[in-house]
Structure 1
Amino acid sequence: MKFQPYFPSLIQKFLMLLALITVSALSALFFIERFIVMPKLISQEDNLAGAALDRARTALGNSHQSLAAQARDWAHWDDTYEFVQGERSDYARTNFSREMYEDFEYQLTAFFDSHRSLVWVAGTNPSNDQYGACNNTEGRCDWASSTIKQINHWLPAIGHSQGNIHLLTPMPALVSIAEVLRTDGSGPPKGWVAKVRFIDRSLETSLKQQLGLPVMLTVQPENRRGSDTPAIQRQPEYLWVSGPLSDTDTGPVVHLATRIPRQEFRTQVRVFRYALLWTGVLLVCVIGLVLLLLMRQVLQPLSLFSRFISRNQNPRDRLPYLTDTQVPTSLVKRNDEIGKLARHVKVMLEQQNAQSRELLKLSMQDPLTSLPNRRAFDSRLEQILNSSSLQSLSVLMIDIDHFKLYNDHYGHPAGDACLIRVASCLQETVKGRRVMVARTGGEEFSVLMPGTPESQAEKSAEQLRAAVAALAIPHATSPTASVITLSIGVAFHGAGAGLASRIQLMKQADDALYEAKRKGRNQVVNFRPEHTSEL
């Protein structure tokens, strides 16, 4: 058996090339995700975490600074200066109350003299919310004893200045201490004022309301101060970030921790992976499209063109006055001989259809008033009557009273002008409604009103009659009125009336019009069966 060398077909070559491109593209996307996109997203998430921690630090620092301002305001006051020296016996009574601690964000105020002895303490017990004000830490103020001792311990470190400290025991707290001076800032110093805000659930709730993120606060010893760099811990749903509040140089340290949802990060990763998946799907689709292209470039265009030409040559497959000019776009856009031929055929057919449409327009439109003519009106009426969705239909037949006398008296040019004004008025009066106004005779007009009940049709007819009368077109020879008037007959076809022919409905409208003329013209008459018998 003779060995036959293998030569891959063109389709196989396309398949191998596109498969190689697909693998290369997917590998490149995987590399981009692993080594470019993911590190960048993680870096953005770290920056977001750091910014959130900085906002928490700023909010808590502002709270501590507000506490320091309160301490300074109380310490730099002549009344306080005298009070810590044993004077101003009414100071405590006039300046401390439970309501004051409900209005401010701190819970404890302590006054010390220059010997670090407690002069006065006032505040609310965080365990039971009971208010107490004493000159010692016994009785109602025994709950503040340990806190006062801790503050007293740090007074030497504060010295003759103002400072912030954090307390670890007995309860974590932010403390601001200010030296007692006169209101003008002069001395000598006579003691200290300390303001305390306990780190409790209310403080964490306040920070959460400011930041929109939960904040957890803990106080740790000075030897665990650590670095200011945020510590980040990742979990599937949340990102935990923590760090110290560096608003003191010594003593215990407040550590803040907050939890940030990773929804945005997970969404970005999901979107990128969806893009990766759909890119692969798109590449597979491209392979199929390229294979189809081989067939479309040779056989399918010729077959398509042949079917199009055959369809236009068979009059049974097209309208009698229009030729299908929608040459397939795929043929027109080609830059070869088939495309050139398709474009020439398209231009020829469009010219032919333009002439046909113009002839159709002339055959369906009244040249004087530009309204639809009798042919257009009858065609539309037949179409509505044959519609399966027909609910109701009203037809108005309108005649200009004594128009022959008008023509004889004023002349045909004036008569034409009168017809144009009447037609325009009729059209304007029913503008915006689903109706059709047509000129169906010399001075005769007809109005088609699908979906209109009989009472509404009569009302519309009266509006048309009144609108034309309001034009006040002079008619000196009219026996009816001194201006142009209308007589209108109304015929109605209801949903339960069975099938009606175009001729029957128009005959009823004509009978109603005749009755309007018989009664003296310039009026609207609805068709009734007795009108036919009277005729």
Structure 2
Amino acid sequence: MASLPPRFSSLRNRFLAALTLVVGAAALVLALIARYQITPILLEDESRFASDELDRIERALSNEHHHLRSLVEDWAWWDDTYAFVDGAHPGYVDSNLYADSLETLGVQLMAYFRPDGAPYWTAGIDRRGEFWSCAGPPSACGGSRTLTDRLGGRIAQGLDRKTHTWLWAGEMPAMIALSPILKSQERASPNGWLAMVHPLSESLVTQLRETTGIDLALHGQPDEGSPAIDHLERLSPTRMRVTRDLEALPPGRALRIAADLPRQRYQASLETFRFALVWTAAVLVATLIVVLLLLERMILRPLRDFAHFTQQLGEQDHDRQTPDTLLERKDEIGVLARAFQQLRQRQRRQHDLLLEMSQHDALTGLANRRLLDEHLAAALERVVQGE
């Protein structure tokens, strides 16, 4: 007797296994695309964002440097300053170089140099906030001469007669502007240099934070030989730190800009991609469910009914008719059912013909001995049963 296919040979189970394999392969492909295509693009975009934020900080710092440049040029191209360095303005110090003037300018040091780079006069505010001013180098009044010696050495080596600006990456980072001392109206050769030093103090860093809206820090460090190259460190899924080293004095040192930035841009893009991925997967699963339902209704269920019908025929239920639901179908299953029905009808006609030929004489058409034996056996059986 024929039986239904084993569990794992069923069309439904095989098709379900195939669809599961397809869904798994699609999920794997999507995961690989996310890992090796989308994520690198998002990380690259995040790196560009971090570099752009450093550019904003650098522009804000450059604006402060330009402001210092304007200040030093205003003072250096002033006739009173020219006369002071020339020794012709004895009241210049009392009138201009005092604590309030430096605090108003926001500078920590003002240094006047002779054309050969020798300090002529220096004035500044020390770390304790005390003002000092004296002729010659800062050491003459208890100050540090590290920076003035560095600037004097550069002047002595020969500088173009224009305003120069540098960053200082010493123990206390600062901005430096150095301008030749000139007369404002007359054409005359410079008779010295004026330097202003603006410290990169906590107040200035706070101002830069408010201007840019970025949590930043500035500090000097040994030069690692990679100026203007950004280094990005992802601290957590929500925070990252990016740094950039700027060329600065003294040689072998660099001014490092460090910024702590939110990873909101990356997370938002990642969430958007994940949202699209989830919806894509949901639509795919819904589509597969619909396909399975249609497959069950249109193909698998009729095939099971057909298989069940043929099984019943094999169990000697020869009079059972082919279900009308199969015969009335217009698709391939209906064609198969009708062809099977025609085959059964032909087989029955042939069976009846063979039976007729076996029980009647071919020439006379009269019943033969076999039919008589069959009737006799039937009559005897009825007698035995008391009928």
TM-score (norm 1): 0.49
* Matches of 2:73 and 2:273, distance apart in 1: 55
Higher relative contact order (CA 8 A, sep 6+): 2
* Matches of 2:62 and 2:92, distance apart in 1: 31
Query: 1:86: how far off?
Result: 1.0
Query: 1:225: how far off?
Result: 4.4
Q: How does 1:79-478 map to 2 (within 5 A)?
A: 79-125=80-126, 127-136=127-136, 141-157=141-157, 159-161=159-161, 162-169=163-170, 171-184=172-185, 186-220=187-221, 224-236=224-236, 237-246=238-247, 252-292=253-293
- Counterpart of 1:24? 25
Contact 1:113 1:190 in 2 (8 A): yes
The residue type paired with residue 268 of structure 2 is T
In structure 2, relative to structure 1, the CA distance for the partners of 1:163 and 1:251 (3 Å cut) is: farther
* Matches of 2:212 and 2:179, distance apart in 1: 29
* Matches of 1:128 and 1:232, distance apart in 2: 37
Query: 1:114: how far off?
Result: 2.5
* Matches of 1:215 and 1:52, distance apart in 2: 10
Contact 1:71 1:193 in 2 (8 A): yes
Structure 1: 5+ residue runs without aligned partners?
298-535
In structure 2, relative to structure 1, the CA distance for the partners of 1:165 and 1:185 (3 Å cut) is: farther
For residues 345-388 of structure 1, the C-alpha deviation after alignment (integer angstroms, 9 at most, x for no partner) is: xxxxxxxxxxxxxxxxxxxxxxxxxxxxxxxxxxxxxxxxxxxx
In structure 2, relative to structure 1, the CA distance for the partners of 1:296 and 1:130 (3 Å cut) is: farther
Query: 1:217: how far off?
Result: 1.9
Query: 1:157: how far off?
Result: 4.0
In structure 2, relative to structure 1, the CA distance for the partners of 1:180 and 1:245 (3 Å cut) is: same
Instruction: Report the 3-state secondary structure (helix = DSSP H, G, I; strand = E; otherwise coil) of the residue aligned with 2:89.
Output: coil
Task: Decide which moves more: 276-285 or 245-254.
Answer: 245-254
Query: 1:81: how far off?
Result: 0.8
In structure 2, relative to structure 1, the CA distance for the partners of 1:157 and 1:184 (3 Å cut) is: farther
Contact 1:166 1:175 in 2 (8 A): yes
In structure 2, relative to structure 1, the CA distance for the partners of 1:239 and 1:217 (3 Å cut) is: same
Q: What is the number of equivalent residue pairs in this alignment? A: 296
For residues 441-471 of structure 1, the C-alpha deviation after alignment (integer angstroms, 9 at most, x for no partner) is: xxxxxxxxxxxxxxxxxxxxxxxxxxxxxxx
The residue type paired with residue 202 of structure 2 is R
The residue type paired with residue 63 of structure 2 is N
* Matches of 1:291 and 1:33, distance apart in 2: 28
Contact 1:147 1:170 in 2 (8 A): no
Query: 1:167: how far off?
Result: 3.2
Query: 1:120: how far off?
Result: 2.4
* Matches of 1:202 and 1:177, distance apart in 2: 23
For residues 205-239 of structure 1, the C-alpha deviation after alignment (integer angstroms, 9 at most, x for no partner) is: 22212221122223345x64424222222222432
Instruction: Report the 3-state secondary structure (helix = DSSP H, G, I; strand = E; otherwise coil) of the residue aligned with 1:110.
Output: strand
- Counterpart of 1:37? 38
For residues 99-123 of structure 1, the C-alpha deviation after alignment (integer angstroms, 9 at most, x for no partner) is: 3333333222111222433332233
For residues 392-422 of structure 1, the C-alpha deviation after alignment (integer angstroms, 9 at most, x for no partner) is: xxxxxxxxxxxxxxxxxxxxxxxxxxxxxxx
For residues 134-162 of structure 1, the C-alpha deviation after alignment (integer angstroms, 9 at most, x for no partner) is: 33456995234443333323322453423
Structure 2: 5+ residue runs without aligned partners?
299-387
* Matches of 1:114 and 1:251, distance apart in 2: 27
Contact 2:242 2:258 in 1 (8 A): yes
The residue type paired with residue 27 of structure 1 is L
- Superposed CA RMSD in Å reads 3.4
Contact 2:221 2:255 in 1 (8 A): yes
The residue type paired with residue 50 of structure 2 is A
* Matches of 1:207 and 1:3, distance apart in 2: 84
Task: Decide which moves more: 207-216 or 272-281.
Answer: 272-281
Query: 1:185: how far off?
Result: 6.5
* Matches of 1:24 and 1:259, distance apart in 2: 40
Task: Decide which moves more: 25-34 or 262-271.
Answer: 262-271
The residue type paired with residue 37 of structure 2 is I
Contact 1:230 1:241 in 2 (8 A): yes
Query: 1:195: how far off?
Result: 0.5
The residue type paired with residue 90 of structure 1 is G
Query: 1:43: how far off?
Result: 0.9
* Matches of 2:77 and 2:248, distance apart in 1: 22
Query: 1:80: how far off?
Result: 0.8
Contact 1:166 1:173 in 2 (8 A): yes
Contact 1:67 1:176 in 2 (8 A): yes
Over the matched positions of the two proteins, sequence identity in percent amounts to: 29
Instruction: Report the 3-state secondary structure (helix = DSSP H, G, I; strand = E; otherwise coil) of the residue aligned with 1:143.
Output: coil
Contact 2:176 2:195 in 1 (8 A): yes
The residue type paired with residue 48 of structure 1 is F
* Matches of 1:5 and 1:244, distance apart in 2: 73
TM-score (norm 2): 0.65
For residues 317-365 of structure 1, the C-alpha deviation after alignment (integer angstroms, 9 at most, x for no partner) is: xxxxxxxxxxxxxxxxxxxxxxxxxxxxxxxxxxxxxxxxxxxxxxxxx
For residues 20-73 of structure 1, the C-alpha deviation after alignment (integer angstroms, 9 at most, x for no partner) is: 432232122112101210110011011111111222222222222221221122
User: Does the alignment pair 1:65 with 2:66?
Assistant: yes
Contact 2:139 2:145 in 1 (8 A): no
For residues 233-254 of structure 1, the C-alpha deviation after alignment (integer angstroms, 9 at most, x for no partner) is: 2222432222233588977432
- Counterpart of 1:409? none
Contact 2:243 2:256 in 1 (8 A): yes
The residue type paired with residue 211 of structure 2 is Q
